[in-house]
Amino acid sequence: MKKRDFLKLADLSHAEHLSLRARAVELKALRQNRALVETLKGRTLGLVFEKPSTRTRVSFEAAMCQLGGTALSLPMAESQIKRGETLEDTARVLSRYVDALVFRTFGDQRLETFARSASVPVINGLSEGAHPVQLLADLMTVEERLGSLGGRRVAFVGDGASNMALSWIEAANLFQFQLTVAAPAGYQPPATPGIRVTEDAKVGVIDADVLVTDVWLSMGQEDEAAKRRAAFAGFQLDETLLRRASPKAIVLHCLPAHRGEEISEAVIEGPQSAVFDEAENRLHTQKALLEVLLG
Ligand code: CP
Ligand code: NVA
């Protein structure tokens, strides 16, 4: 049987996404009731990270352990890659030890190479072009808070060319909600049918049901700090912007957050913020994903 990767949202069918979210809701309730769920007993997940991580690493490790399996993390800096072993050989060897791999990397070419070389399922744990496992949690959180996704108005404020913005664009195409990306010139996403793009954050957020933001400086962009902070001034998700959205709007941020940059303290800690539920839902949605790919 051909192995299944999850490198982008479209690697699951629409029906699989719906049943994954339903299963995640079920797994969340089971965990709240301290029920023992051992659907991945005896299975092993390997995590290979070329960038830092808190949520992705720990939520995948916890997911495997709680489903009866095991997770092993290999930071790239401690691997033989640092001494010249190829990405291809690394993926081939690790595939002999574990049943699936999560890979967090820079360019999407590296992700493709790793996935092509691995003989077990590879999950994108964040690349330059996408963060699909984050979107699984984000979409679950929208449904949990607002009841449904279809027809909702989502506004993404910030770096429109970032992995998070690009994954929200993919999600809007798959799940038929309205997406507006508010980003400064030079940081806008590629033109995509059905996606509205504006340089005016105040216009972009009008009547939104969901407000999403992400850091102005993604991992690996530290050298561009001054230039980016200047470009994104006026794109902070603060109370002024929040007041222009629907009164019942929720606020999402994949975290880590930089309070006072892309989001104000008052908004991230305010009653409309769903960011910590969003972070928790990483655990439940990734359990459901692991069951699909490994079950
Ligand atoms: N949101 C997210 O992926 O967080 P980490 O970088 O901590 O994994
Ligand atoms: N866009 C951010 C997301 C972090 C989870 C980054 O790539 O650093």
Residue 75 has a pLDDT of 86
> What percent of the chain is modeled with pLDDT above 90?
98
Band (232; pLDDT cuts 50, 70, 90): very high
pLDDT, position 77? 86
Q: Where are the domains of the chain?
A: 9-131+282-294, 133-279
Closest C-alpha to 38, from 16, 60, 13, 70: 70
Same CATH topology for 9-131+282-294 and 133-279: the answer is yes
Residues 124-169 have pLDDT tens digits of: 999 999 999 999 999 999 999 999 999 999 999 999 999 999 999 9
pLDDT of residue 39: 98
Residue 234: name the closest of 256, 202, 203 by CA: 202
DSSP string, 171-224: HHHHHT-EEEEE--TTSPPPP-TTEEEES-HHHHTTT-SEEEE--SS-TT-GGG
pLDDT-based confidence at residue 79 (cuts at 50, 70, 90): very high
Closest ligand to C-alpha of residue 128 is 2
Task: Tell which atom from ligand 2 comes closest to the C-alpha of 255.
Answer: 5
Kindly state the percentage of the chain with pLDDT values over 70.
100
Give mean pLDDT, residues 79-103: 97
pTM above 0.85, yes or no: yes
- Output the pLDDT for position 22: 98
- From CA 220, how far away is CA 239, in angstroms rounded? 29
Q: Is the pLDDT of residue 1 over 80?
A: no
Residues recognised as catalytic: 104, 131, 134, 214, 254, 282
Q: What is the topology classification, in CATH, of domain 133-279?
A: Rossmann fold (3.40.50)
Q: Which atom of ligand 2 is nearest to the CA of 164?
A: 1
CATH code given to domain 9-131+282-294: 3.40.50.1370
Contact residues of ligand 2, CB 6 A cut-off: 126, 162-164, 214-215, 218-219, 254
